[in-house]
Chains A and B, each alone.
Chain A
Amino acid sequence: MNLSNIPKHPILETKDLSMRFGGLMALDKINFRVNPGCITAIIGPNGSGKTTLFNIITGAHQPSSGQVSFEGEDITSLPAFKIVSIGIARTFQNIRLFPQMTVLENVMVGNHCRMKAGLWASGLRLRGISTEEQHCEEKAVQMLGLVGFEGDLKIKSSSLPYGSQRLVELARALCAEPRLISLDEPTAGMNITETMTMLTTIRKLKDLGITILLIEHNMRLVMGVAERIMVLNSGQKIAEGNPEEICNDEKVIEAYLGKKDLRYKVA
C-alpha cells in the first residue's frame, strides 16, 4: 500500500464508533476514514452493520459511544437535517421517495437546505422567492439529467418503475449539493444494463469532486469502481484496503465463505 497517497485530513472519520441495540452489538469500535474525492465501499454479509453505520453517519441514529467527524468537525450529536446542510446526503436501501409528490417536487425537496425562503417571504411572495424557486427547479432538472432519468417529471413518484425511482432518489440527494454522498446499495434490484449505467453515473459524480461512500453487494460493481474497501462482519471491521488486498484477505474469504478445513476434517 502506498502510504503517501493518503491525505492527512480525511473528509469523514469515525473513532471507536459503537452501536448497541439491547444485547446486540451492531457496531463494535469502528475506526474508519474516508478520503476526499475517493470512492469508498463498505461490504460485508447481511446483518454485519453496514446500514447501521450509514444511519449513524447521516444522523438517523445516535451511536452508543464514539465519534463521527466530517471535515474535522464533530457531527456525532447533530440532528439529521443539519448533517445534510453541512454536506452529507444519502440514498436508502429500500427506496424512500415521497410517494404523493411529483418526480420534480421530490428532487426539489433535496434542495431545501440550500434555500432560504421563510414563512412570510413565501406566503407574501416577497422579492427573490420566484428567482429562488426557479433556480431550485433548474437545479432539480439538471440533477435528473445527470443521473440519466428519462421520463415525465410531473407524475407521482410512486408510479415510476423501480429503477427510475432509484435514480430520482439519487437526484434528490445530489440536489442537496453534498460533498459526500452515501449510497446504500444503489443497484439493488437493478438489471445488468441499469447497473452499468449506475456505475457510469457514480464515476461521473466522482469526477465532479463528490466523495462517495457506498454499500454494495454486487461484487463486480464494488471491485470495478471502489478505490478503498472496508469489510464489516458482525459489527466488527475485519479488513480495509484496496480491492486487490480485500480479494486476497483470508478473514474476508472466511467471513463470506466459511473456514477452509474444519468442517470436512471430521468426516
Chain B
Amino acid sequence: MGIPYKKLLLYGLIALVISCMIPTFFPKSKYYINLLNLIGIYIIIATGLNIITGYCGQINIGQGGFCAVGAYTTALLTLHISSYLPVHLAASIVVTGIIGLLVGISCLRLAGIYIAMTTLGFGAIVEVILFGWAKLTRGSDGLRDIAYPRIVGSLSLGGEGDLLYVISLIAILLLLFAYNIVHTRLGRAFMAIRDDQLAANLSGINVPRYKLYAFVMSACYGGIGGCLYLYSAKCIFPEVFGLDFSILSLMMVVLGGMGSISGGVLGAALLTVSFELLRPLEQFQMVVYGILIVVISIFIPKGLLGVGMGVFSFMKRSFQK
C-alpha cells in the first residue's frame, strides 16, 4: 500500500499555484477571492472536525466554540498587543489547544450522545461568555475594524488577494498534516477507537491519550480557522461561531464524507458555494439551504465523496471493458 506522498505533494502544489494565480489574473474579483478565502477557512475547520468526529468517532457539536476562541484571541491580540500573524497563529493554537484538552478530558469517560451534549454545552458557554464579558469582548457590539496582520517586519498583508496566499498555504499544510496523521499509526488508533473502544484498548492502544490527541488537534484546527476568518471578515461577533456554525461545520463533514480528509474538503467547498448560489433567493435562502441539506443527507448517507467514488469506479470499470 504505502502513502502516495509524492503524488499528494504534487496535488498540493498544483492547488497552491492555481489559488495563487487567481488574484493575479482577476485582480478586481474581490467577491470570488473572498469566497475562496472562506472556502479555505471552512476546509481547515471541517478537517479538524473530521479528525475528532469522522476518524475518532467523538461527535463534536462545539467546533464553533473553538473557532470563536481563535478569532477572539487574534482580535484581542491585534487590538492590544501585537499585529504579527505568526504570533496570532501561535497564540490561537496554544489557547484553543489548552481549551480542547480541557473539553477532551471532560469527555473522556463519556460515550456517544453525551459527548455531543458536552461539546454542545461548551459551544454555548463560549458564546455566553463572549456576550457577557463586555469589558474584554465588547459584548454584542463585537470587535470591529481589525487591520490586516503583518507577517514579518513591516511586511503586511495588502488585501484579500494577499490573504488568499496565506490561507491557501496554511490550508494545504494543515491538510497534509492531517493526511499524514490519519494514514499512519495515529490514524489507525483513532479509527480503532471509533469502531470498538474496548477492542482498541485490548489491542494495545492507550484510548484516553489518543482521544485527547484528536480533541486537541481538532480544536487547534478550529482555532486556526477562526484566526483566519477574522482576517477575512475584519470583525467578529459572539454569534458568528454559535450553534448554527457548529452544526453547519458538522454538516460539511457528514455530507462530504466522514472519515475521509478529501470528503471533508469537498463538503466544506460545496456547502459554502451552494450557500452563495442561493443568495438571490433572499429571505428564502436559509429555507432552501436547509431543505437541500436534509435532502442530501437522506439520499446520500455515505456522503458526497462516497457517490463520487462510486461513479469513478463505475466509469473505470466501463472503460476497462
On A, residues with C-beta under 8 Å from B are 58-60, 79-81, 84-85, 89-90, 92, 96-101, 104-105, 108-110, 112-113, 115, 117, 119, 122-125, 129-130, 132-134, 136-137, 154, 172-173, 176
Residues of B within 8 A of A (CB-CB), count: 32
Contacts of A176 in B (CB 8 A): 203-204
17 A–B pairs (Cβ distance < 8 Å), ordered by A? A58-B202, A80-B202, A84-B203, A84-B204, A90-B202, A96-B199, A97-B199, A98-B200, A100-B194, A100-B259, A105-B188, A117-B184, A119-B181, A122-B180, A129-B180, A133-B184, A136-B185
Complex contact A98–B3 (CB within 8 A): no
A99 to B196, CA, bound (A): 8
Cβ of B1 < 8 Å from any Cβ of A?
A: yes
Question: Main SS of the interface on chain A?
Answer: helix
Residues of A within 8 A of B185 (CB): 112, 115, 117, 122, 132-133, 136
Q: Which residue of A lies closest to B178 (CB)?
A: A123
Q: Mark B176-190, 1 if CB is under 8 A from A, else 0.
A: 011011001111110
| 10 further interface pairs, Cβ-Cβ under 8 Å (given A97-B196, A125-B5) | A79-B201, A79-B206, A98-B196, A98-B199, A100-B195, A109-B200, A112-B205, A122-B186, A123-B178, A136-B185
- Counting chain A CB atoms within 10 Å of each CB, which of B189, B206, B213, B259 scores highest? B206
Q: A117-B184, A119-B213 are in contact. Are A85 and B194 (CB under 8 A)?
A: no
Q: For residue A120, which residue of chain B has the nearest CB?
A: B177
In the complex formed, the residue of B with least CB distance to A58 is: B202
- Once bound together, how far apart are the Cα atoms of A105 and B194, in whole Å? 14
CB distance from A84 to the nearest CB of B (A): 3
Tell yes or no: B191 within 8 A of A by CB: yes
Q: Is B192 at the interface (CB under 8 A from chain A)? A: yes
- Residues from chain B with a CB closer than 8 A to the CB of A112 are 185, 188-189, 192, 203-205
Contact B204 A110 (CB under 8 A): yes
Mask: chain B, 158-190; 1 = CB below 8 Å from A; 0 = not: 000000000000000000011011001111110
Q: Indicate which residue in B177, B195, B198 contacts A60 across the interface (CB closer than 8 Å).
A: B198
Pick from B3, B199, B200, B204 the residue with the most CB of A within 10 Å: B204
Docked Cα-Cα span, A199 to B256, in Å, equals 46
B77 at the interface (CB under 8 A from A): no
Which residues on B sit within 8 Å (CB–CB) of A123? 177-178, 180-181
| B108: interface (CB < 8 Å) | no
Question: How many angstroms between the C-alpha atoms of A226 and B184 in the bound complex?
Answer: 39
Interface status of B146 (Cβ within 8 A of chain A): no
Per-residue CB contact flags for chain B residues 270-292 toward chain A (1 = under 8 Å, else 0) read: 00000000000000000000000
Q: In the complex the two chains form, is B191's CB within 8 Å of A81's CB?
A: no
> Is the CB–CB distance between A81 and B184 below 8 Å?
no
Q: Flag if A98 contacts B191 (CB, 8 Å).
A: yes
Contact A101 B204, beta carbon cutoff 8 Å: no
Are A113 and B180 touching (Cβ within 8 A)? no
**Least Cβ–Cβ distance between A266 and chain B, in angstroms:** 48
**Which residues on B sit within 8 Å (CB–CB) of A130?**
2-3, 5
- Does B207 make an interface contact (CB < 8 A)? yes
Query: How many angstroms between the C-alpha atoms of A96 and B1 in the bound complex?
Result: 24
* Cα–Cα, bound, A80→B184 (Å): 22
Residue of B nearest to A182 (CB): B202
* A90 nearest in chain B by CB position: B202
Contacts of A122 in B (CB 8 A): 180-181, 184-187
Q: Which residues of A contact B192 (CB under 8 A)?
A: 98, 101, 109, 112
- A129 is contacted by which of B184, B188, B204, B259 (Cβ under 8 Å)? B184
Q: Is the CB of B195 within 8 A of A113?
A: no
Contacts of A154 on B, CB cut-off 8 Å?
1
Contact of A109 with B203 at beta-carbon distance under 8 Å, contacts A96-B196, A134-B2 already known: yes
A136: which B residues are within 8 A, CB to CB? Answer: 185
Question: How far is A172 from B1 in the complex, measured between Cα atoms in Å?
Answer: 18
Assembly CA distance A33 to B198 (angstroms): 26
Closest B residue to A129 by CB, please name it.
B184
Interchain CB contact under 8 A, A84 and B188 = no
